[in-house]
Structure 1
Amino acid sequence: MMGPLEAELGRRADAMDPRQLLMVADLWRCLRRVVPKFLERLYCSAEGWRWSNLGPAELVQLVYVMGEGRTSTPSLLLVLGPQLLRHLNQLTPEEVGVLCLGLFKSQSSLSLHDVTQLVGRACAVLPQMSDYGLVNVLKLLRFSHLDHQRFLKAIGKEVPKRAPHMGVQGLMHVALACSALHFRDDGLLRALADRLPALALQCRSKDAAKLLWAFGTVGFPSSQAPRLYPSLEEAMRERADEFRRYPEHLLTGLLGLAFAGIFPRDLLALALSPESVELAVSSPHLELKKDLFTLDATVGLEVPDWAGPRVQEGLAQEVTAQLWSFVQQDVCVKPSVLEAEALLQSLLGGARFVRKHMILPHTRSIDLEVHLDPSGDPIPLCSEDNLQGQAESATKRSHLAITEDLLAQLTKITVDPSTKQPDSPPAHSTPPTITSDEPFPSEVNLTEGLLGSPLPQPTEGVQRLAVQVTNRNQFCYHSNHMLGLHTLKRRQLALLGYRVVELYYWEWFRLLKRSRSERLTYLHSKIFEDLD
């Protein structure tokens, strides 16, 4: 019966007025029937509506239908933006929440200005907004990667008052938004952490995993809430059967725990078992190899007596090749990295004294490695033949000349002196999935210890330095708290005997606009600080 009814309503769509179209679309939603063709007719019609005759109720209903249908069109979004601004001050608190949810579910990207205005309206009505509405605003912020300072400041005060009465999924979405926006407010996080242990056993595997990921990502210490991590671990154990269908949740939760330096052996053994690994790598809709690699290599370094299962070496080599391919095209050619590499070579006596590579490939970033002998003199890391081969390889890739003018153009950021942080918002982008059919490149080293061999011991008296050129995406928003993956990397470099040298972006980016001699003086102080 439903098929002919859907077809007939589709034929009559052109004769319906806007309210009739919206009512029919919503009734299909109530019947849980997916009707993409009817929604397409609705959206096409809405582009030509006389919106001056319609009010905020029709706008809210249309966006709600878009969200439930998980669809939208670019041309429709061009129409919705102006209508949103026209009715903005008439929207009730719950209508604001519905609009945010609809835009989030339909993955609709309004302009940054329009989203900012909508969230500004949410700020104005936040005290009257339900928890559900508040969470929906956070979902839109998360999707839009918008760090709306007024709203973030407001939830820092509002959420602690509401947390004692919020449910598990609401708490999870608040925590997840904080991690996605790299926003750390210890008062807000403590309020969530105090509430969660009593609700932990109500968590789905998805909830527990995302909560662990969120708290681990922003570096929330277990000392501030001793029951938080153990209770969420137990929730993971209670839901272990769900990991057969959702292997990504197990990896997500364990990585969050690893960021915090916590390694539950039973859950690790489950995640690294041959069955779980096969399930994860064979999933057609998920890319879990990088997460498996990061977890496995972390276990190899931080759980030295581990006798449980490990992933096969071939997987580690495959993912390392993919990551190296990405960083060569992206991180390695960033002006801030190239300038640090060139000046270190000048400072230490040549290119053979600085090696740009991934000491820990599973941490998905590069290092400038330097060795100093007991007297503080640099030790060569590359032979002349290797340098020539690297130079020939580099000429095959696009070359980026670093000049003072280019550096000045690329580092136009303002700095807030009270926080030593740039005022411009962080770009919370996710690296694209890299696929590579190339063989495992010889220039990429799997650091000893990643595949189960003993950790290397540094030569007597030799200092091994790992120079880190940081960027704002490695830190919490307007903070010097490093995010979980980067904290994990520093911890593991120290385990391997490296001295980590940080070129903090709020220091280094400012120096890129100054003289070469000032940059050399800064680097000299960083490299030789322990030898003076």
Structure 2
Amino acid sequence: MALITLRRNLCHLSDFRIHGALAGLKTQRVNCVHKTVKEHLCPWFWSLQLEPVRVRFHHAHSKKFHSENGNDLHPVGEPAFSQAHAEDRSEHSVKNVDEQIFYRRLNSFTSSEEVLHYISTLQTLPDTMAAGALHRICEMEKKDDDQRLPKEILENSTFQTLCNQFAQDPSNLSNTGLVTALQALTLYVDPQSRLLLSLLAECQHRLEMGSLNIHSLCILGECLIKLQDPGCSTLDLIIYQLQGENLEEFTPEDIVTLYRILQACPEKVDQTFLHKINNFSLSVVPNLSPKLLSQMLTALVVLDQTQALTLVIKLGKYVVRHIPHFTNEELKEVLEAFIYFGYNDRFFTEALEQHVASLCLTLDPEVVSKVMEYCSRKLIFSKPILNAVAETFVCQSEKFSPNQTAEIIEPFGKLNYLPPNASALFRKLENILFTRFNYFPPKTLLKLLHSCSLIECHPVNFMAKIFSPYFLQQLQGEESYLDRLSLAQLTQLFLTAILECPFYKGPKLLPKYQVKSFLTPCSSLETPMDFQLYKSVMVGLIDLLGARLYFASKVLTPYCYTIDVEIKLDEDGFVLPFTVDEDIHKRVALCIDGPKRFCLNSKHLLGKEATKQRHLYLLGYQVVQIPYYEIEMLKSRIELVEYLQRKLFSQNSGGHW
């Protein structure tokens, strides 16, 4: 491991810029390395010109500056100090500082200035530690909207010394020091930096010599992806070498880094190798940090590893343990992955409930909306989550974008739930719609208002707008026609206005925008009947009524709803054959509700099914609900017939058979 000797106020680089050159290089050495590997690097790499950097040194009070090769933490011939002693003497040469203590100190600092001050107190520093310090500085200064390091960092003599030492002779650096320094610079430096080019050239040389270990290959691969097109042939060589390594020698961090590399260039992925990694990863999951867990799940999504459900399930098991420790971004990535793979788990839901209920007011709006999307997609009826999010929205509605607002409100309608603060919630929503109506994308707005109607919070004040030709034209956009789902939502909203809002006197929905059936391919407005449950009920109905003639199945009404089973009664309450269309006094609508019409693992009916039954009742039907959990309790055919008799012909119904 090379040792880097640091001095205070050694040099000042007047033209030190991130988007130019980072340090002075020994031109002869750089040109030699570049000549050796020129033919093998990507074309973009060699289209860049190296320009000389002017370096000015302040010689006053400077000490001798040198680098040495070596792999030991302590220089040869010098005693190693105990950890306790090292902590007491941390202001002295790093030969007195244990490596773990060094990195612990490094990670405890909260600013680059603290890191630089600490480094300036050390006389000699192994290149791996110097690279770690450089990486820590760049990491702390990284900002999404700024690609330059602050001027005070660039002009700091200790920082300049760090960079200059890596530029002087990269061939003397250890593999770890070399790739860690490169990794640090990729956070800020553009490919025109001389220092970056020098380090890349040395990495390329070692790569072709096959002298890079697994960890170095992984870091180099990620650096290349950040700096250039993942299609570069150099990356091919890295992936090829990694495929030849024994997976048992990979650390958990290396495995996740390998996933990230493959994620960046899925077209290069060998499926057999990926399957091998998935199987091996089962053994490393217990050792993954929250960050690595989220990164592995994200990579599995990008690589479309739907066949790796065993790995996803194990990841989910360990995600539960880390819920309180995820950052907002990491938790969002976990939820996105679980949505993608269709994963749900009772323990994960419970942990998520505790997390959201305790921290909802401090969670990022994107995370809050993603939590609601997860509950909505998986039909998870969680009162703690729904109540916490409703309270958050009332208190902090200004934080949420129009799309996030819709993602938060829609699950209440879908899951058929009114929170305790429903009046405040929908009053706040109404105020937002009044002031920001035009900011909502048309389809998002339609879904939002339709969801409100599912829980009887009818958007009467906005119906005139959404039934207007102007809004319908916006909804259609550049397409030649409106999609079926939007038409179905418009039709159901219009039916809601007629049945539940008789005081509405605004414009009506034109017939050309109305559908004939609410059964859409995505089952958004009606859930198809559970066939196995229907077969069981049909057997009981035949025994009860005497013949199949006395009931009809899958009846499409004039009001767009499809009734599972319809039974017609005359004025005296006698059952009529389903073929009869005269003397019908009452129609009985049997809603044979299978598990898919309820929230997950609950007896709570979904909003669309509750709305259907409510509307059928208002249309004059006698609605009889036959839920699956009641049928499952019956032990014999006789019990089934008795159950149906009680449901259809109770003393109050007036029916006969």
Structure 2 SS opposite 1:308:
coil
Structure 2 distance, partners of 1:503, 1:488, is 16
Structure 2 SS opposite 1:316:
coil
1:504 corresponding residue in structure 2: 627
Structure 2 distance, partners of 1:311, 1:44, is 63
2:653 corresponding residue in structure 1: 531
Which of 474, 482, 506 aligns to 1:307? It is 506
Aligned length: 449
Structure 1 distance, partners of 2:560, 2:45, is 51
1:517 corresponding residue in structure 2: 638
Structure 2 SS opposite 1:503:
strand
Structure 2 distance, partners of 1:45, 1:284, is 50
Deviation per CA, 1:370-419, whole angstroms, max 9, x where unpaired? 12234331133315xx9xxxxxxxxxxxxxxxxxxxxxxxxxxxxxxxxx
TM-fit CA distance, 1:527: 0.7
1:253 corresponding residue in structure 2: 448
Structure 1 SS opposite 2:282:
helix
Please, which runs of 5 or more residues in structure 1 have no aligned partner? 387-457
8 A contact 1:190–1:225 mirrored in 2:
no
1:53 corresponding residue in structure 2: 249
CA gap of 1:31–1:140, structure 2 versus 1, over 3 A, is same
Structure 1 distance, partners of 2:476, 2:235, is 36
8 A contact 1:97–1:132 mirrored in 2:
no
1:199 equivalent in alignment to 2:378? no
Q: When the two structures are superposed, what TM-score results if normalisation uses the length of structure 2? A: 0.59
1:90-489 counterparts in 2 under 5 A?
90-243=287-440, 246-281=441-476, 288-301=483-496, 302-304=500-502, 305-313=504-512, 316-317=515-516, 331=528, 334-359=531-556, 366-383=563-580, 462-489=585-612
Structure 1 distance, partners of 2:232, 2:621, is 57
8 A contact 1:208–1:236 mirrored in 2:
no
TM-fit CA distance, 1:528: 0.9
TM-fit CA distance, 1:293: 1.1
1:419 corresponding residue in structure 2: none
8 A contact 2:568–2:577 mirrored in 1:
yes
TM-fit CA distance, 1:70: 8.3
CA gap of 1:499–1:44, structure 2 versus 1, over 3 A, is farther
Which of 21, 34, 44 aligns to 1:5? It is 44
8 A contact 1:320–1:361 mirrored in 2:
no
TM-fit CA distance, 1:230: 3.0
CA gap of 1:240–1:354, structure 2 versus 1, over 3 A, is same
Q: When the two structures are superposed, what TM-score results if normalisation uses the length of structure 1? A: 0.71
8 A contact 2:564–2:589 mirrored in 1:
yes
Structure 1 distance, partners of 2:501, 2:323, is 46
Deviation per CA, 1:30-50, whole angstroms, max 9, x where unpaired? 569786999999878766553
8 A contact 2:491–2:514 mirrored in 1:
no
Structure 2 distance, partners of 1:362, 1:143, is 35
CA gap of 1:181–1:68, structure 2 versus 1, over 3 A, is farther
Structure 2 distance, partners of 1:159, 1:335, is 38
Structure 2 SS opposite 1:296:
helix
8 A contact 2:332–2:366 mirrored in 1:
no
1:495 corresponding residue in structure 2: 618
8 A contact 2:217–2:242 mirrored in 1:
no
Task: Give the residue type in structure 2 aligned to 1:531.
Answer: S
Task: Give the residue type in structure 1 aligned to 2:653.
Answer: L
Structure 1 SS opposite 2:567:
strand
Structure 2 distance, partners of 1:73, 1:311, is 55
8 A contact 1:213–1:257 mirrored in 2:
yes
TM-fit CA distance, 1:353: 2.7
Task: Give the residue type in structure 1 aligned to 2:452.
Answer: L
Structure 2 distance, partners of 1:362, 1:86, is 56
Structure 1 or 2, whichever has the larger Rg, is 2
Please, which runs of 5 or more residues in structure 2 have no aligned partner? 1-40, 48-199
CA gap of 1:493–1:97, structure 2 versus 1, over 3 A, is same
CA gap of 1:323–1:110, structure 2 versus 1, over 3 A, is closer
Q: Which moved more, 1:183-192 or 1:220-229?
A: 220-229
TM-fit CA distance, 1:207: 0.6
Structure 2 distance, partners of 1:98, 1:353, is 59
CA gap of 1:47–1:272, structure 2 versus 1, over 3 A, is farther
CA gap of 1:183–1:269, structure 2 versus 1, over 3 A, is same
8 A contact 1:96–1:122 mirrored in 2:
yes
Q: Which moved more, 1:111-120 or 1:233-242?
A: 233-242
CA gap of 1:267–1:122, structure 2 versus 1, over 3 A, is same
CA gap of 1:367–1:41, structure 2 versus 1, over 3 A, is farther
CA gap of 1:522–1:92, structure 2 versus 1, over 3 A, is same
TM-fit CA distance, 1:183: 1.4
Q: Which structure's relative contact order is higher, taking Cα pairs within 8 Å and 6+ residues apart?
A: 1
8 A contact 1:222–1:260 mirrored in 2:
no
Structure 2 SS opposite 1:367:
strand
CA gap of 1:314–1:357, structure 2 versus 1, over 3 A, is farther
RMSD, aligned α-carbons: 4.2
Deviation per CA, 1:197-218, whole angstroms, max 9, x where unpaired? 2322232221111111112222
Q: Percent identity?
A: 20
TM-fit CA distance, 1:91: 0.6
Task: Give the residue type in structure 2 aligned to 1:355.
Answer: A
Structure 2 SS opposite 1:121:
helix
TM-fit CA distance, 1:66: 5.7
Q: Which moved more, 1:264-273 or 1:93-102?
A: 264-273
CA gap of 1:144–1:237, structure 2 versus 1, over 3 A, is farther
TM-fit CA distance, 1:67: 5.6
TM-fit CA distance, 1:142: 2.0
TM-fit CA distance, 1:307: 2.5
8 A contact 1:327–1:366 mirrored in 2:
no
Structure 1 distance, partners of 2:264, 2:560, is 37
Task: Give the residue type in structure 2 aligned to 1:133.
Answer: E
8 A contact 1:47–1:75 mirrored in 2:
no
8 A contact 2:455–2:607 mirrored in 1:
yes
CA gap of 1:326–1:131, structure 2 versus 1, over 3 A, is closer
TM-fit CA distance, 1:482: 1.0
CA gap of 1:255–1:322, structure 2 versus 1, over 3 A, is closer
Task: Give the residue type in structure 2 aligned to 1:89.
Answer: P
TM-fit CA distance, 1:350: 3.4
